[in-house]
Chains A and B, each alone.
Chain A
């Protein structure tokens, strides 16, 4: 024969232990593969350069004569 207080105490302890076991099982099985897709750079610019040297026609003519 188990007394009322002892039985209730045992029951509460049992409930607490069951809660701990369930929590433990959930932690073990709830590992997920996580991916993060962060947006670091959304814009970028690039530069190119154009160069031309334009001589006056008459200077070119002189060069051709010489």
Chain B
């Protein structure tokens, strides 16, 4: 892999993470806004459009994350093949650094939402025990907590350098290199 290819792949990976986050946010808002429970009032075309949007976003993010090789080759052009090949350590370091950057940016929002939830949880439990608070908690509260926990865990995995993803990428690059030889 040459340096332009690597840069393109790293940018595509970051875009893939961004799209995955958009996908998670869209699921959350789609479930909430369409209020799936009262389906007779929900316009079918609206559901279709939102589902199509979700599928396209997820597919695009998966392509950018796992199958961006052809895209990188297309963007960089044939001249990029003539550049010097990069050391395997640069590929690993680049992928890990991109993961780390994305993880840091992603983690800010779930942390800032989960800290008040953790701080307020004793008060909420107390209110539930005294029957001042309905139980189970409102769907929106539960959905927010679940969504932010997922995002938080994803952010932590990325900050750790996404080791499994990097290993998978390296395996696929190795297989491709062997195929080219």
A, B bound: no
List chain B positions with a Cβ less than 8 A from chain A: none
